[in-house]
Amino acid sequence: MKILKEIKAELSSLDKGQKSSLFKICATLSLLYFSYPMIRATSEAIFLEVYKAKSSPLVWVYSVITLSISILIFNKFQTKHSVHKLFASIGFFSLIIFSLCNAMIVSGHKFWAYPLYVWKEVYIVILVHIVLGYMNTILTYETAKIVYGPLGAIASIGSILGGQATVYLTKKMTIVTGLENLIAVSMLGVLIVILGAAFFYEKREYVIQDQNIKHKDDSPLKSIVEVKYYVFGIATLVLLTQFVINLANFKFNLEFEKFVFGEVDKAAYLGNLYSIISIVSFALQIVIIPILFKMVKNSRIHFSVPIIYMVFFLFSLIGGTNGLLPVASMFVLYKGFDYSLFSAAKEMLYFPLDAKQKYGAKYLIDMVVYRFSKGLISFILIFVQSMVFIDSLLAICLILWLLILIPLFKLQRKLIKV
């Protein structure tokens, strides 16, 4: 009861402007996560039907290259334009890209499944980064520990409903069928993204500012030079976690292809799978995270995640001959934790940094390193796709994940004392 009272008091201390911004952030993330299963499941189903699972690593590499170029452009605009205008601009640009790709696919140009897949990987990273980066600058560390869980839970509701809407629309809607149906569902998701831009928009423009005079003329990326070792530690952590996630993803794709056939059935199965992942995330965010973050140190939470992952990895090996379920279960837990517990704990790592450093670190880590790690492991998987290799590398990455946490938290303690 004491913890619940502390949580209530912390939330009550927010001023009217903060509460209004949090509501907008909440609504925006809900719409983004509601629409994403529609765009993701249909884009992946089309791609996997045309190019098969073994082409996944190649398209992941293209995604990283495209995201890296997008970030270089985005970084130039970040200190000159408000985050709300940037969000709206990227939303409308995505509408154009998705409309073009889907139109070309319907016309029989199947190659456009590549840019369709690539941009669905890029747009969501940038838009979520904008929203969370903005939230990091308006909240204190103590408030953030309380807010991240429930905020993620509300967003997960959107994702759960979006996954179920994807299943219903791809399987039950008969106005259009087959490929045209998938594209109609995808474009509905894109229109919801535009609605999210409308919710997020504020007349009060927020352009990144910093009270630290040393960073007055620096871009967000340049401002992180003085904390480079700490940022490098977080980057290494994220690289290893994404190696783990994407190895599990590829392992799932290989098994998925053996048991589920046809683009419509694949889209429906993936819609259900993403709903289950969102339910796992929701349960952690609404029940566990707010209380856990008040009771347990962030470092202990970080150490617990790879240990839990290792348990489910071993389960996937033991149950590997029993079909898709053991591997799908591992994938669900990995993704569910990645979207909730690990994501919230990782955001706490940014709070020792100042405003510009937070944005710069999140650029480098959440956008560049996050996708670079996916591109690197994807490049490796283009040439080596044996299950023995995947399982061995996954186990090594889990062990390294545990080890990197030791120096990372030593650096954090030094940074907090300065």
Q: Stretch 386-415: mean pLDDT, rounded?
A: 91
What pLDDT, on the 0 to 100 scale, is given for residue 303? 93
pLDDT reading at 48 higher than 90 = no
What pLDDT, on the 0 to 100 scale, is given for residue 379? 81
CA-to-CA distance for 279 and 269, rounded, in angstroms? 15
For the chain, the straight-line distance linking the first and the last C-alpha, in angstroms and rounded, comes to: 35
CA-to-CA distance for 291 and 158, rounded, in angstroms? 22
What pLDDT, on the 0 to 100 scale, is given for residue 240? 94
When comparing pLDDT for 194 and 10, which is higher? 194
What pLDDT, on the 0 to 100 scale, is given for residue 10? 59
Burial class for 377, CB neighbours closer than 10 Å (0-12, 13-18, 19+): buried
| pLDDT (tens digit per residue) in 69-92 | 887 787 777 666 777 888 888 889
Residue (of 127, 167, 197) closest to 41 by Cα position: 167
Report the percent of the chain where pLDDT is more than 70.
83
- Return the structure tokens found at 110: 């199947």
pLDDT reading at 203 higher than 60 = no
When comparing pLDDT for 153 and 110, which is higher? 110
- Return the structure tokens found at 382: 């283009």
pLDDT reading at 122 higher than 60 = yes
Set out the domains of the chain in order of their start, with CATH numbers: 14-206+218-417 (1.20.1250.20)
Residues whose CB falls within 8 Å of the CB of residue 380, separated by 6 or more in sequence, listed in order:
57
Confidence of residue 311 (pLDDT cuts 50, 70, 90): very high
CA-to-CA distance for 11 and 169, rounded, in angstroms? 38
Residue (of 413, 243, 255, 406) closest to 319 by Cα position: 255
What pLDDT, on the 0 to 100 scale, is given for residue 204? 59
pLDDT reading at 151 higher than 80 = no
Angstrom CA distances, 206 to 32, 84, 137, 197, 200, stand at 20, 7, 10, 15, 12
Confidence of residue 418 (pLDDT cuts 50, 70, 90): very low
Mean pLDDT score of the chain, rounded to an integer? 80
Q: Which residue has the tokens 């995604």?
A: 63
3-state secondary structure the chain: CHHHHHHHHHHHCCCHHHHHHHHHHHHHHHHHHHHHHHHHHHHHHHHHHHHCHHHHHHHHHHHHHHHHHHHHHHHHHHCCCCHHHHHHHHHHHHHHHHHHHHHHHHCCCHHHHHHHHHHHHHHHHHHHHHHHHHHHHHCCHHHHHHHHHHHHHHHHHHHHHHHHHHHHHHHCCCCCCHHHHHHHHHHHHHHHHHHHHHHHCCCCCCCCCCCCHHHCCCCCCHHHHHHHHHHHHHHHHHHHHHHHHHHHHHHHHHHHHHHCCCHHHHHHHHHHHHHHHHHHHHHHHHHHHHHHHHHCCHHHHHHHHHHHHHHHHHHHHHCCCCCCHHHHHHHHHHHHHHHCHHHHHHHHCCCCCCHHHHHHHHHHHHHHHHHHHHHHHHHHHHHCCCHHHHHHHHHHHHHHHHHHHHHHHHHHHHHHHC
CA-to-CA distance for 393 and 330, rounded, in angstroms? 16
**CB neighbour burial string for 265-283, b if at least 16 within 10 angstroms, e if fewer:** ebbbbbbbbbbbbbbbbbe
Q: Stretch 56-75: mean pLDDT, rounded?
A: 80
Nearest-10 crossing angle of helices 141-171, 178-200: 150
Q: Which residue has the tokens 């509701």?
A: 157
| pTM of the predicted model as reported, rounded to 2 decimal places | 0.68
